[in-house]
Structure 1
């Protein structure tokens, strides 16, 4: 299967220079070789750290350490702790307070504030919402500013995800398909 993920400028602009880690004949732009987990992970990290290549590189190095240590979990689970509260989130199924705090932190990276439609500190307001409804609300608020909030399937263990530029929606979907994990807009998390 040929790999068509991101606009070439994204992949070409900033693959980390770690060529010493590969065999001499490795070509990161060869469709047969770009399915290597590290290359796919790098593309994902660039998408969820738009404009912040330094953070993407730090996260990439942590991921490489885990992969080198024999970690064999699906990529979202490997990234869960690496990107938590910086480029991603993971919350328990009933942790509405943790979710709003994590999403606020993600939005703040880009100078955005989420209008939750009420006071997060008001128990009555929070009792009227569950995690999926808050994810949907945040998704719609972020779309107004050119971002998409994504969720990956964490089964019954919680809700995990990240945000990326709205213009990269097709690339994110294609990347998730190649990585073979279920990714959907946060508005469909319920």
Structure 2
């Protein structure tokens, strides 16, 4: 499987270009999915391609308009370049955020000696973990995004801060109500 062809550079990522402040009417859903995967896998086109291949395989030649696109993308990115974790499972959220941040060579200081300690995990909220991660990721030039799941779960991705505009443009076009943590 290969990324979709389109008249614009597939590595453009809709990066903060004021002239591209809206989705190209010619862009197919597959092109937008590819762009999002590039954004949430910065510098790792191989990972983006693996997730795009999984997306295409899940489609199985079907029509993307017949599927729950956010659900499908969640499945192909979960614990690779994204997360979807129940609000009450702070241990899994912490583990996933640590793993995702490690992809960017960022260590998150949770403010305790052992963040995996049960006492810490029972007193910290999922929102608190997300805000701590966001504060430190922003210092390193990254943004932590969350999107509305319609449930008590927290879901999102990390991207380069320079790609914030790209996420703001592409995510809604794919059905995600995404926003940076804390905003």
**Normalized against structure 1, the TM-score is what?**
0.79
Which of 98, 103, 106 in structure 2 is aligned with 1:104?
98
Q: How many residues align?
A: 163
Runs of 4+ residues over 6 Å off in structure 1? none
Structure 1 110/133 Cα, relative in aligned 2: closer, same or farther at 3 Å? Answer: same
Residue in 2 that maps onto 1:6:
none
Determine the C-alpha separation between the residues in 2 that align with 1:13 and 1:121. 40
What is the distance in 2 between the residues matched to 1:73 and 1:158? 20
Unmatched runs of 5 consecutive residues or more in structure 2: 1-7, 13-22
Deviation of 1:69 after TM superposition, in Å, equals: 5.3
Structure 1 vs Structure 2 CA RMSD = 2.0
- Rounded Cα–Cα distance in structure 1 between residues aligned with 2:116 and 2:97: 15
Cα contact 1:176–1:182 (8 A) shared by 2: yes
1:64 counterpart (56, 59, 75): 56
Contact 1:100–1:134 at 8 Å: present in 2 too?
A: yes
TM-score, with structure 2 as normaliser? 0.81
**Unaligned residue ranges in structure 1 (runs of 5+):** 1-10, 16-29
Check if 1:95 corresponds to 2:89: yes
**Greater relative contact order: 1 or 2 (C-alpha under 8 angstroms, separation 6 or more)?**
2
